[in-house]
């Protein structure tokens, strides 16, 4: 019986490891094969209730192969442990037929109580290097777990799991075992970002439609008396806060005058244009805030250079040209 299983294991290694050149090489130089052979003997002792002998045999196997398989674990046929160093398989783990495990794989438990506390791997599962499958969960047939993943939930058949904690990145419903190619696996984080960008694009389209509707509403809005309009403009400007000072632009004296001509508003601001890092920001805030008023169609912001310290320097006027860019004009 054990001889038949060894021959099956050798054939499986020849199929799944391109580096394997001959049966003799596999028989003498593959620690994964050695660990499985010793485990099958130790497992028989465990089932026969020779627990100490089974544990001692598995301990010797760990010493010589670097692979730790508890004698109570159930291992199927044609299982391949490639390279194998650091592989740990717990007592209540169940590994199905044709499973492929790479180095550093851990099939571990998450509880200190007795009973089923290790994972179950169904037929054809592939577990990448350094991955950890933890707890009494089930990994479905022909599922793949990427290198370094930490799986703590059930994995459906044919799924691909990557990341920490493990997330399902693909569900192809495979019916055969395939190579595990981490560089070709889907990225769930990138997929989420792509969906967020799509959602952002949809929201921008809705905002654009709302802005168009707002223009139509402005055209139908009743005319407000000029005195009330001025009060409305000053109230709107008081809602704009200078981030450097923490107060609104009206109370700190940045707004000098406002002029209302029909639906156009002209605002005169005083700023030190040579040292103010928020010049464009404040101008844009004034324009955008005033355009929210229903009867305002056009806003002109004129920035007067206020050096604060020098009274003899030139006084450049800054305003926005037709393209929306800032340009300067000097006055004596």
- Is 219 within 8 Å of 295 (Cβ atoms)? no
SS3 50: coil
Q: Which residue has the higher pLDDT, 211 or 78?
A: 78
The pLDDT, as a whole number, for residue 311 is 38
- Indicate the pLDDT class of residue 274, thresholds 50, 70 and 90: low
Average pLDDT for 135-142: 91
SS3 23: helix
Answer yes or no: is pLDDT of 201 > 70: yes
Q: Domain 2-186 falls in which CATH fold?
A: UDP N-Acetylglucosamine Acyltransferase; domain 1 (2.160.10)
The pLDDT, as a whole number, for residue 114 is 86
The pLDDT, as a whole number, for residue 318 is 46
Q: pLDDT tens digits, residue range 25-35?
A: 888 889 989 99
Q: Which residue has the tokens 């479905």?
A: 140
Helices (H), the chain: 2-16, 23-29, 31-47, 51-65, 188-220, 226-237, 279-291
SS3 179: coil
- Map out the domains of the chain as residue ranges: 2-186, 187-220, 226-331
- Is 88 within 8 Å of 73 (Cβ atoms)? no
Q: pLDDT tens digits, residue range 30-57?
A: 998 999 999 999 999 999 999 999 999 9
The pLDDT, as a whole number, for residue 250 is 85
Q: How far apart are CA 262 and CA 90, in angstroms?
A: 82
Average pLDDT for 160-175: 75
Answer yes or no: is pLDDT of 143 > 50: yes
CATH architecture group of domain 226-331: 2-Layer Sandwich (3.30)
Give the residue among 150, 101, 143, 108 at the shortest CA–CA distance from 122: 143
Q: How far apart are CA 83 and CA 141, in angstroms?
A: 23
- Indicate the pLDDT class of residue 199, thresholds 50, 70 and 90: confident
59's tokens: 């301990």
- CA geometry: angle at 163 spanning 172 and 106, to 5°? 95
* Burial readout 100-122 (b: 16 or more C-beta within 10 A, e: otherwise): bbbbbbbbbbeeeeeeebbbbbb
- State how beta strands 255-261 and 159-162 pair: unpaired
Q: pLDDT tens digits, residue range 297-324?
A: 899 998 888 765 433 333 444 444 444 4
Average pLDDT for 149-153: 91
């Amino acid at each position: 019986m054990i001889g038949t299983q060894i021959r099956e294991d050798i054939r499986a290694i020849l199929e799944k490891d391109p580096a394997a050149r001959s049966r003799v090489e596999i028989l003498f130089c593959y620690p994964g094969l050695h660990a499985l052979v010793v485990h099958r003997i130790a497992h028989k002792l465990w089932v026969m209730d020779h627990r100490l002998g089974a544990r001692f045999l598995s301990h010797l196997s760990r010493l010589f192969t670097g692979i730790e398989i508890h004698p109570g674990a159930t291992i199927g046929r044609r299982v391949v442990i490639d390279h194998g160093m650091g592989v740990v398989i717990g007592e209540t783990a169940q590994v199905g037929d044709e499973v492929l495990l790479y180095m550093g794989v851990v099939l571990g438990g998450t509880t200190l109580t007795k009973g089923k506390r290790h994972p179950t791997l169904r037929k054809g599962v592939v577990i990448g290097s350094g991955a950890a499958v933890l707890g009494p969960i089930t990994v479905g047939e022909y599922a793949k777990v990427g290198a370094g993943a930490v799986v703590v939930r059930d994995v459906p058949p044919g799924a691909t799991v990557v990341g920490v904690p493990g997330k399902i990145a693909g569900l192809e419903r495979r019916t055969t075992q395939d190579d595990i190619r981490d560089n070709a696996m889907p990225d769930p984080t990138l997929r989420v970002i792509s969906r967020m960008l799509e959602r952002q694009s949809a929201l921008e389209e809705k905002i654009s439609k709302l802005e168009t509707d707002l223009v139509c509403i402005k055209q139908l809005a009743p005319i407000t008396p000029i005195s009330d309009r001025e009060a409305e403009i000053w109230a709107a400007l008081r809602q704009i806060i200078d981030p450097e000072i923490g107060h609104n632009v009206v109370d700190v004296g940045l707004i000098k005058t406002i002029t209302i001509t029909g639906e156009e508003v002209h605002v005169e601001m005083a700023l030190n244009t040579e040292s103010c890092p928020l010049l464009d920001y404040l101008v844009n805030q004034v324009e955008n805030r005033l355009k929210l008023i229903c009867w305002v169609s056009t806003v002109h912001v004129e920035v007067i250079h206020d050096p604060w310290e020098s009274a003899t320097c030139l006084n450049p006027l800054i305003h926005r040209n037709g393209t929306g860019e800032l340009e300067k004009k000097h006055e004596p």
